Structure 1
Amino acid sequence: MSATAPQGSASHIPESVYRRRWLILGVLMLSLLIVVLDNSILNVAMKTIAQPSPAGLGATQGELEWSINSYTLVFAGLLFTAGLLGDRLGRKRAMLAGIVVFGAGSALAAFATTPGELIAFRALMGLGGAFVMPATLAILMNVFPREEQPRAIGIWAGGVGLAIAIGPITGGVLLDHFWWGSVFLINVPVAVVAVVAMALLVPESRDPRPGRLDPVGVLLSVAGLVLLVYGIIKGGQLADFTDGQVLLTAGGGVLVLVGFVLYERHSDHPALDMSYFRRPAFSAAVAAIALVFFALMGVTFFGVFYIQSVRGFSPLDAGLLMVPLAVAQMIFAPRAPRAVARYGAKAVCTVGMLGVAAAMFAFVLIDETTPLWVLEVVYFVMGTSMAHVMPPATTSIMQSLPPQKAGSGSAVNNTFRQVGGALGVAVLGSLLSARYRSGVADALAPLPADARHSAGESIEATLGAADRMGPAGRALVDPAKAAFIDAMHVTVAAAGTIALVGAVVVAVWMPGMPAVSREQDREGEKEPEQVGAQR
């Protein structure tokens, strides 16, 4: 018997598309896989890229950060514009172009010969990724009926967990057998498969009434986001958010974005309808996503250095040790809609944010000798908690908007996630750096001033200096590890506090379960009792 779209809720979905909707979801997840996979692989490869040629590129701590931040800067700056273009020109077309550009950037990054080239090619990958990410959710919302969207989004979020799991393991295997560039080259065959599958299976969709272009709004959004994200990144690098460069760029970005909001509110053809933010289901969910990624990205960034530099594990070991974080998301993200149906999005997201906060604070108990099973439990709790935040919050955002605006809605969702993540890396990274530098200062005092400054940038820089000093450098190893552990404790306490703020935001502003749903739930509980009485 052939599947047919349910009447009413899916009447806009052609029957041929509805029948292959789960195959389409698989293609979307494959496309999403290469974007998320690359960043999770890069986290494992950072230590290798920092090594001198030919093993790596000899990248400094600042260059390593920019290899991540160049992608983030372009990706976050163009996400909103890419979503709008997808709504107007066609989401399938935008996604195909994005994957091709991402694949080309990956191939070029694999053969970069200097850190500068790697940073530039990572920016090109960010350009491609900006067109892929919003299109995946926008297409999903247009091929699934409303009642199936929470489940589809849960599976989509589980796919992110799969990529997080595969990335570090794949990166570790590649780095054990091939040169560092293989972690980028692996994206190319996946991109080719995704392009072919998308061309064959995914339907085109766009906003049937896009209205007039809003070039002023688009330019203001790009300029504001780029300036803001650049200022955040610069503040993290300098470990000083009061520096003139930081205040000028980040402050300028905020002013431009305020101008964007004011312009859009008075425009008769806005790029982004500001009335969406008056809906608690939309604005509270956006805030939750930004805050949870602020906390998570900062912790993920230093987690790799704790596992490899403090504990001495290989890149492959580091990938395997982070598997519980991803496996928990894979298991629970597709099941989160069931919890939402029973308890409501507010309750589920609040408990999830509290779980994220608890996992962050648990890192305070971790030191150089902590049993590995403790670390694994903390990662699993963190992944489980995130799995009960991301799908409900994403569903809340996407279902607050009409289907024809799915691209811009997805772009807002991903923009706040990226800005929150960039803030997390910059703010928490600068806190970690400042605390580490002060903690290791006494141990580095015998070194010359120039060497002392460079060796205090990070634990990897200190251990590198110790290695170059030979037997005399052994005296630096234990103080460096102790200083890093102390800095990590301070940083995770800050991250946990941010997650608690997110829990409060969700608990106060996200709408609870609708009265109709509660009544249906009570009727569902009474029904078995009534049947039993009749028997």
Structure 2
Amino acid sequence: MTGQAAATPDKLDAAVLKIAGVVVLGAIMSILDITVVSVALPTFQTEFDATYAEVAWTMTGYTLALATVIPLSGWAADRFGTKRLYMLALLLFTLGSVLCATADSIEQLVAYRVLQGLGGGMLMPLGMTIMTRAAGPERIGRLMAVLGIPMLLGPIGGPILGGWLIEAASWHWVFLINLPIGAIGLVYAFFALPKDNAESSESFDFIGMLMLSPGLALFLYGVSSLPETGTITATKVWGTMLVGALLVIGFVLYSFKPQHPLLDLRLFRNRNLSVSSISLFVFIIAFMGAGLLFPSYFLQVRGESTLNAGLLMAPQGLGAMLTMPIAGTLADRIPVGRTVPFAMALIAAGFFTFTQVGTDTSYWLLCGSLFVMGLGMGGTMMPIMTSALRTLTSQEVARGSTLVNILQQIGGSIGSAIMSVILTSRLNGSEPIPGLNNPRTGEPITEAGAAIASQHGQQLPVEPSVIQRGLAFVADSFATTFWVGFGLVLLTFIPIAFLPRKRRPAKLGGPAEEGDGRLDTPVMIH
């Protein structure tokens, strides 16, 4: 094994890049779908005559399915083979996409999005497994940079593509676009991926699955219900969160007993994995949660179209595109504890601008800030993930990546819920307009609600001064929410201060030492 690793070329060769094409294509489908659908939510409200809380479940259902299936992907890959399972995940995702386009109600759409999520949840961890087997341990930093491409195309292409499809065709094409991509991906995977060498898998942890998967789903369901209810005291929120938390706690206590648990929490004894995981978790809560509000500001406060809102978000992805390949190369040579703090400082600097937003804040300033944040994001997320997996043995890395994927899903859901609750509670504090009620619900329309409606072309019998007051209130509500996100970004500096800052040589033929950037055995990521 050691000789094989030593003989691994320093650069990603043509054979690895051919396999990478399959993985990146699948990951693009999964990640792009999240951002494409995010700009379609207002359209879903109109098409299905639903509230924002109801259409938000098209995002939440997808995320719940991801979190539920990720713990199973490692065992399933060993049992059925990565190529077979990857093609099955692509097929499931594509089928779910086509069904979404046929939905006649919001309930059907949410159900089909869950089916999509079951396929999408396996694409990323399986893709990481396939790529790492092909590339070997010496190139894990550059490998992470390649896998970061879909994370760049998501914020760049998703809102732009979604806005254009809705305006040029219809909302159905937000999902139908996945049909040709999925078909190409299946054919490409059949010919490009290496043949499976099925091996007898370790015993499946059914008891762990019955606790962990439902526990995660129930906990995230409760968290995701916060924006709809507006309070944690609602039974729908605290009840499901409590049951979910008890199941997860039960799994934590149980997981140290079996030899092969569904999720190996013993790995957290590795200081490097623990610190990196905490850093990534706090970062995801802060950045991904607030990141969903950036396009909403352009839509609701500035009255931009979905296409223009997507174009205004592009500088963030362009900034990340510049730094992510550099960060991937540096992660193979320099301890991430020396580079990530500088990248986080860029994110904090760019984020601060959004705490000052108003109704007429300069687009040059906002787009410049998004670009700076993108520069920081490109140098933060993938290096932290690399650091989390570097000091594990080949057997441990497979389980370590599963932990990282689950933490990402939980962090993203918690961050989105926190930001949505804060923004919603702020907007609900707006003054109601006397004598003006919502014809569907009968509830009074507030100045903020009238202002947002006017930005989307709805004419209401109110004075222009009321609209201006409402817009100012909405802008202030966004600024307040961004202050919370900014505080969470600053909080991330605490765990990243403990990331490895020294590189020590690995012991030949033995496991890498903490802080070391090399592995002597090929690694496999789930």
Relative to structure 1, the CA distance from residue 456 to residue 399 in structure 2 (aligned partners, 3 Å threshold; closer, same or farther) is farther
Question: Shift of the alpha carbon at 1:448?
Answer: 4.5
Q: 5 Å matches for 1:441-452?
A: 442-448=431-437
Shift of 1:312: 1.6
| Equivalent position amino acid for 1:482 in 2 | A
Counterpart of 1:111 in structure 2 is: 102
More off after superposition, 141-150 vs 287-296? 287-296
In 2, are the aligned partners of 1:433 and 1:458 still within 8 Å (CA)?
A: no
Seen in structure 2, the aligned counterparts of structure 1 residues 82 and 355 have a Cα distance that, compared at 3 Å, is: same
Please tell me whether residue 8 in structure 1 is matched to residue 11 in structure 2: no
Distance 1:457 1:76, change over 3 A: farther
CA contact (8 A) 2:276 2:385 kept: yes
CA deviation profile, 1:432-488 (whole Å, cap 9, x unmatched)? 1001111x2x24354349867474598589517997663336554323322221111
Corresponding residue of 1:179:
170
Q: Does 1:279 align with 2:279?
A: no
Looking at structure 1, the residues matched to 139 and 193 of structure 2 have their Cα atoms a distance apart, in angstroms, of 18
Matched, 1:479 2:469: yes
TM-score (norm 2): 0.88
In structure 1, C-alpha distance between the alignment counterparts of 2:321 and 2:168, rounded to whole Å: 28
Please name the residue that 1:25 is paired with: 20
The aligned amino acid for 2:26 is S
Q: Is 1:494 the equivalent of 2:490? A: no
Describe the superposition over 1:297-352 as per-residue Cα deviations: whole angstroms up to 9, x where unpaired. Answer: 22232222211221121111111111111112222111103333554211222333
TM-score (norm 1): 0.87
CA distance in 2, matches of 1:471, 1:457: 12
Of 337, 352, 361, 2:328 maps to 337
1:222 Cα deviation after fit: 0.2
Unaligned runs of 5+ in 1: 518-535
- The CA deviation string for residues 488-512 of structure 1, in whole angstroms up to 9 with x for no partner, is 111111111112222211213x222
Seen in structure 2, the aligned counterparts of structure 1 residues 87 and 379 have a Cα distance that, compared at 3 Å, is farther
Task: Provide the residue aligned with 2:214 in structure 1.
Answer: 223
Q: CA deviation at 1:415?
A: 1.3
Residues 1:364 and 2:355 aligned together:
yes
Name the residue aligned to 2:514: none
Alignment equivalent of 2:378, drawn from 381, 387, 394: 387
* 1:53-64 matched pairs, under 5 angstroms: 56-64=47-55
Q: Distance in 1 between matches of 2:54 and 2:448?
A: 13
Q: 1:311 aligns with which of 298, 302, 311?
A: 302
The 1:203/1:297 distance shift into structure 2, 3 A limit, reads same
Q: Which runs of 5+ in 2 are unaligned?
A: 507-526
Residue of structure 2 in register with 1:320 after alignment: 311
Number of the residue aligned with 1:121: 112
User: CA-atom RMSD, angstroms?
Assistant: 2.8
Deviation at 1:43, TM superposition (A): 1.7
Provide the C-alpha distance between the structure 2 equivalents of 1:202 and 1:175, rounded to a whole number of angstroms: 35
Q: Which moved more, 1:267-276 or 1:425-434?
A: 267-276
Alignment of 1:287-298 (within 5 A): 287-298=278-289
Structure 1 window deviating more from structure 2 (145-154 vs 465-474): it is 465-474
Tell whether 2:247 aligns with 1:256: yes
Instruction: Provide the residue aligned with 2:513 in structure 1.
Output: none
Q: What does residue range 31-430 of structure 1 map to in structure 2 within 5 Å? A: 31-51=26-46, 56-204=47-195, 210-341=201-332, 343-404=334-395, 406-430=397-421
In 1, the alpha carbon distance for the partners of 2:96 and 2:501 equals 44
Q: Secondary structure at the match of 1:9?
A: helix
Q: Post-superposition shift, 1:66?
A: 0.8
| 1:9 CA drift (Å) | 1.0
Offset of residue 45 of structure 1: 1.7
AA aligned opposite 2:38: N
* Compared CA separation, residues 467 and 41, structure 1 to 2 (3 A): closer
Determine if the alignment matches structure 1 residue 463 to structure 2 residue 463.
Answer: no
Deviation (angstroms), 1:207: 8.8
Residue equivalent to 1:532: none
More displaced 10-residue stretch of structure 1: 350-359 or 123-132: 350-359
Maintained 8 Å contact 1:349/1:392: yes
Distance 1:380 1:112 in 2: 37
Structure holding more helix per residue: 1
The offset of 1:385, in angstroms, is 1.2
Separation in structure 2 between the aligned mates of residue 58 and residue 247 of structure 1, nearest angstrom: 28
